[in-house]
Amino acid sequence: MLNMNCGNDLVPKIVVLGSCSVDFTTYAPRLPKPGETIIGSKFTTSYGGKGANQCVAATKLGGNTSMICRLGDDRWGTQYKQYLKDIGVDVTYVHITPKITTGIAQISVAESGENQIVIVPGSNGYLSKLDVKESADLIKSADVLIGQLETPFETTLEAFKLNKGIKLLNAAPAREDIEEILPYCSILCVNESEASILTKLDVDISNAVTALEKLLETGCDTVIITLGEKGAVYSSKHEPTPLHVLCDPVTPVDTTGAGDAFVGALATFLVTQKNYSLHQIIGAACEVATISVTKEGTQTSYPTKLNPFNKEFKYLYL
């Protein structure tokens, strides 16, 4: 069962260990084919990285957040740290890495909302076990610890071994060799392509039950597979009947960072809306992600102080 205790602090703590990157985003009518050059319509520079995206999404929804990360010794790193501080993130363990550049993401977005992303990790690759050791007290006491796979795997594993609360792993970008961390996961959250890599199935709604069963066998307590506009499916060792949580259809503008919006919202609602069932919490996280795809940008598209629990989210038994 998920450990929903909030410790001794009055406000539950959400700690994100992960990546911070600067997004360089181009918008065009469609995505280019291999070797093709096309004319775009707009270029923007903004803050991103899966870890920071999830932290900002949680912060905007009222979460009490701390970030553990490494930024580069450049103007982007200095500006990013100040930005996180200004929006209310605890930046005690946001460190500038000497003589290393801040991570970047090159993003192309089509009019359909589809995107392509190339990441250069930069300082994100220097987040180490020493950073975990330095922030050990914070990690141990976190009510929710969020990790991803854009920073060194062994660092995230070390942190998950320490935490006593809800350990939420967003196993993205997709990779195969993460079996060691899965038994430490209270919640494993993946999209269809990530689930396909881990299960060696071509995962979609038709075989989601099989995928959930295979992922639960790895040792996770709860598995959530997000399905984009189709919502999400989930199952738990303690509530083994798989459910499909639906979401409202919208016309997407930019899908970049929608999965991160989901994860940040999920973490926040797990500790601030404990009276609701898990399917309602997942439905509310889907609502946040859905809102984010109707606007351009990543962190700029995340809603602020939203309470989506004024409606009943639809679900189906699988």
Q: Which residue of the set 74, 90, 221, 260 is catalytic?
A: 260
Strand pairing class (222-226; 187-191): parallel
Please indicate if the annotation marks 50 as binding a ligand: yes
Please indicate if the annotation marks 191 as binding a ligand: yes
Please indicate if the annotation marks 159 as binding a ligand: no
Residue 248 bears catalytic tag? no
Please indicate if the annotation marks 74 as binding a ligand: no
Please indicate if the annotation marks 22 as binding a ligand: yes
Please indicate if the annotation marks 274 as binding a ligand: no
Please indicate if the annotation marks 51 as binding a ligand: yes
Please indicate if the annotation marks 174 as binding a ligand: no
Q: For residue 110, give the nearest of 168, 34, 25, 195 by alpha carbon.
A: 25
Please indicate if the annotation marks 23 as binding a ligand: yes
Please indicate if the annotation marks 292 as binding a ligand: yes
Please indicate if the annotation marks 35 as binding a ligand: no
Please indicate if the annotation marks 21 as binding a ligand: yes
Reported for 112-116, long-range contacts at CB under 8 A and 24+ positions apart, including other chains, are 112/30, 112/252, 113/252, 113/253, 113/254, 113/255, 113/293, 114/31, 114/255, 115/31, 115/254, 115/255, 115/256, 116/31
d(CA 178, CA 192): 17
Residue 223 pairs in a beta bridge with: 188, 235
In angstroms and rounded to an integer, the radius of gyration of the C-alpha atoms of the chain is: 18
Please indicate if the annotation marks 86 as binding a ligand: no
β-sheet with 243-245: strand ranges across: 90-97, 64-72, 13-17, 144-147, 166-170, 187-191, 222-226, 232-236, 243-245, 315-317
d(CA 235, CA 120): 34
Q: Which residue has the tokens 């062994």?
A: 154
Please indicate if the annotation marks 143 as binding a ligand: no
71: left (phi over 0), alpha (psi -120 to 50) or beta: beta
How far lies 300's CA from each of 48, 56, 60, 269, 297, in Å? Answer: 10, 9, 10, 20, 6
Please indicate if the annotation marks 56 as binding a ligand: no
Q: Which residue has the tokens 């973490």?
A: 267
Please indicate if the annotation marks 214 as binding a ligand: no
β-sheet with 21-28: strand ranges across: 42-48, 21-28, 103-110, 115-120
- Residues recognised as catalytic: 260
Residues annotated within a binding site: 21-23, 49-53, 150, 191, 226-231, 254, 256, 259-260, 292, 295, 297, 301
Residues annotated within a binding site for ATP: 191, 226-231, 259-260
Residues annotated within a binding site for substrate: 21-23, 49-53, 150, 260
